[in-house]
Amino acid sequence: MCGMSQPTPDRSPSSPPARPDASMSLLTHVMDHSLDEGYAEASARRRADGTAGLPRTLKAKLALAGGLVLAAMVVTLGAAQARVAAPGLAKERQELIDRVDRADDRTHGLERDIERLRTDVADRQRTALRQPGGGQGDLVALLAGATEVRGPGIKLVVDDAKGASSAGGGPRESAGFSDTGRLRDRDMQKIVNGLWQSGAEAVSINGQRLTALSAIRAAGDAILVDNRPLVPPYEVLAVGDKKRLGTAFQDSADGQYLHVLQENYGIRSTLSPMDEVRLPAASSLTVRTATAAEQQKGAS
């Protein structure tokens, strides 16, 4: 039994021997197929198109050249269109300029006509105010501000406080107004009323003649007289007895009010007697007429 030989496995001469790396199939697949299928397909397409042999830099230069040619074509077409449209645009622009110039000329002509008519109306109103006979007509024209006047009187110059501003609050704050060291429309109203009450026969502020219908109002921080803005300092001229008028105004309640504005809020004012002051006629007048109505007879 010891001398018996061991049986050997039956091997077919046609079957190949097993590879030693058969257990490493994944690595083998990676080594055999190192190029991804997508890249392989792209490379095949380039070879089919005949561009596979071109260098990448050459293709980039060709693409850039094509883009530049396209841009040049667009710019050339735009310039040609602008050159074609330029004469029409220049003509339209000149037509607009001519229309604006004609409109300006008409506006200036209308303004001159308005000023001429305003002057004519004012002259006619002054003439109408002088028509009631004798000195009474002159008195009516004087009181209505229809004529220029001159004579002795006083000059009262009122100005805002130094460093006055348009913001801030203070002791005079009321009804939405605050003390800012600026003279207000109601302050000017009190001053003018005090001058009338003290015996002034005619009053003007910064060259604007006041009448019985004049309005002193405010627009923001500006004082308006008959809708015309005033600029400080405010020069108030009043015709009257230069001694009695100045003294009466200073002693009046409105004169004391102005003194309080000086003492408490820095409002500046100076009053000077004048041998002669000259006041212009009012720029706008309203002439109204009245006729006596017949009395109705009472029933018997």
Higher pLDDT, 1 or 160: 160
Please tell me whether residue 174 adopts helix, strand or coil conformation. Answer: strand
In angstroms, the CA 63 to CA 58 distance is 9
Fold adopted by 151-279 = Alpha-Beta Plaits (3.30.70)
Rounded CA Rg of the chain? 51
Whether the per-residue pLDDT at 234 is higher than 90: the answer is yes
pLDDT of residue 176: 39
**Residues above pLDDT 90, as percent of the chain:** 27
Query: Where in the chain are the domains?
Result: 151-279
More confident residue, 291 or 257: 257
Q: Which residue has the higher pLDDT, 26 or 121?
A: 121
- Whether pLDDT at 195 is above 60: yes
Q: What secondary structure letter does DSSP report for 24?
A: G
- Please give the single-letter amino acid code of residue 176: G
Instruction: Give strand pairing partners of 228.
Output: 225
Q: How many CB atoms lie within 10 A of CB 2?
A: 3
